[in-house]
Structure 1
Amino acid sequence: MASASTDDPHPLRRSSSYEYLPPYMSELRVVLLGNSWSERSSVGNLILAKAVFSTEKEPNRCLTVRGPLKEKEIVLINTPDLLHPNISEHKLTEHVENCVRLCDPGPHVFLLVLQPEDFTEEHKLRLCRVLEKFSERSYDHSLVLISTPRKKSPALMEKYIGQPVLKDMIMKCRYRYLRQKNLERPELLTGLGRTAKENSGEHVSCEIFQDPTSTSAGDNQRTKHKEAKTTTLTDAVKAAGLQAYTKFSEQLSQLSLSEKTPVPHSE
């Protein structure tokens, strides 16, 4: 993993010799999540090296932009406010489904852009809820990016990182995190690429959203139950057939014996 499991996590560092993506990956699909549209958009623009996302007006849908990544491609999906306290379960599922379709067959990395002074226990629970909507393995594919605190203070960032809520989120994401202050594009791209490489270039599987014809859990249970009943019935038929075959064989043997036994002629 990026860092050792410790109570004093350290951010990922850039390696000048590190390629953004391993040779077997042709593109990197990244989903931006967090509690500020403006911050997510600024980070997205930094990744793409141009102002693509508006930092002012927040849309009510996911936005996708493709850009070059050396000789390969990066696909960014910027999400609306999925951490809003009043968002319904139906609406959240709808946004997640749309996000998955836009990054088909699935995202490689979730970039969690978090404002430290606003990241409360409630925000953490909402973020976990969103990640788990995609997959239980989303944490393995997540990289935390901590925004610069609005108040300028050298010791303030260390204070926020040491808080249990943010610390716990970093731990859930396998201690992968970067600080936005003085962060340059190559360092951020390296962090994204390293997260993908640690997962062997595999994307998050979200099959439940990709296939609209897939059956529900209830349907699956009913199918399994039906298959079990069919198997039981088949076994019973086989057993009955075996018994019938055994009886028929016995009858056939008796008939054969009677045919071979000479019948005395009456005078």
Structure 2
Amino acid sequence: MFSTVSNLRIVLLGKSVSENSDVGNFILGRAAFDDKAPPDVVERVRGRVKDRHVMLINSPQLLQTNISDHQLTQTARESVYLSDPGPHVIVLVLNPNQCSTEDEERVKKVLGAEQGFQHTMVLTTQESNETNDILQKIIQKCFNRHFSLQRSSSPDDLLQTFEDIVQTNAGRHLVCTEGSQYFTTNQQARTRCECDTTVCDVSCDK
């Protein structure tokens, strides 16, 4: 069933400032993010991609395994706050040659229940030397949504994946509930969206 939003909100989660920045700049088609920014700084940049308003939140430290639970909670909530009322899509920026069990556990901790994974895709920034079983498990958890960023890659292809995620979730976005350190969908009262006959959460927006 078709659903669309006028302002697409995307959170980039990763471990490397430079890799996250490269992905954000690739999506926007310009040098919008500073690849030398401090890792604990969450950046927000707006732009237009194919006549679509896009908001990118760059959170390069959220998948780092050495940050405390308090930092994790604060950063997750800041990412949601900057993408108010919440992101439609989460992009896990991963290096296939450096994906460990600790990374897998951190992803589970950040995304929480299946609701978080329903809005998430994996983007790898380098070619893998060999199959990484941990990476494959994370991709499967994200409903096999995976984009390999190559020199020949087109932002249009990645945007289509974003659109597919939005449609699959009927335009709903993620939130970070009070006291929680992970993303979830808003399961409060449901309302009927004006765009069509789809019944969505109140977090459905256009």
TM-score, normalisation: structure 1: 0.62
What RMSD in Å do the two structures reach over aligned CA positions? 1.9
Identity of aligned residues (%): 37
Give the AA of the match of 1:111.
V
Cα distance in 1 for residues equivalent to 2:136 and 2:75: 27
Which structure's residues are more often strand, by fraction?
Answer: 2
Question: Counterpart of 2:110 in 1: which secondary structure?
Answer: helix
Residue correspondence of structure 1 range 19-34 to structure 2 within 5 A: 24-34=4-14
Question: Counterpart of 1:91 in 2: which secondary structure?
Answer: helix
C-alpha contact 1:34 1:81 (8 A) present in aligned 2: yes
Counterparts in 2 of 1:111 and 1:197: CA distance versus 1, 3 Å: same
Once the two structures are superposed, what CA deviation does each residue of 1:74-107 show, in whole Å capped at 9, x if it has no partner?
A: 1100013122232111111111111111111111
Counterparts in 2 of 1:183 and 1:203: CA distance versus 1, 3 Å: same
Give the AA of the match of 2:124.
I
Which structure's residues are more often helix, by fraction?
Answer: 1
Cα distance in 2 for residues equivalent to 1:180 and 1:167: 16
C-alpha contact 1:109 1:192 (8 A) present in aligned 2: yes
Give the AA of the match of 1:193.
E
TM-score, normalisation: structure 2: 0.79
TM superposition outliers: structure 1 runs of 4+ over 2 Å: 56-59, 69-72, 83-86, 205-210
- The answer as to 2:119 corresponding to 1:141 is yes
Cα distance in 2 for residues equivalent to 1:80 and 1:146: 14
Other-structure match for 1:169: 138
Give the AA of the match of 2:125.
S
Once the two structures are superposed, what CA deviation does each residue of 1:201-221 show, in whole Å capped at 9, x if it has no partner?
A: 1111334369xxxxxxxxxxx
Other-structure match for 1:44: 24
> How many residues matched?
178
Question: Counterpart of 1:168 in 2: which secondary structure?
Answer: helix
Gaps of 5+ in 1: 1-21, 150-155, 211-267
Once the two structures are superposed, what CA deviation does each residue of 1:220-257 show, in whole Å capped at 9, x if it has no partner?
A: xxxxxxxxxxxxxxxxxxxxxxxxxxxxxxxxxxxxxx
Gaps of 5+ in 2: 181-206
Q: Looking at CA atoms only, which structure, 1 or 2, has the larger radius of gyration?
A: 1
Cα distance in 2 for residues equivalent to 1:123 and 1:207: 23
C-alpha contact 1:100 1:209 (8 A) present in aligned 2: no
Give the AA of the match of 2:86.
G
Query: Which of 80, 87, 103 does residue 107 from structure 1 map onto?
Result: 87
Once the two structures are superposed, what CA deviation does each residue of 1:142-185 show, in whole Å capped at 9, x if it has no partner?
A: 01111123xxxxxx45x33xx32011001100111111123111
C-alpha contact 1:58 1:80 (8 A) present in aligned 2: no
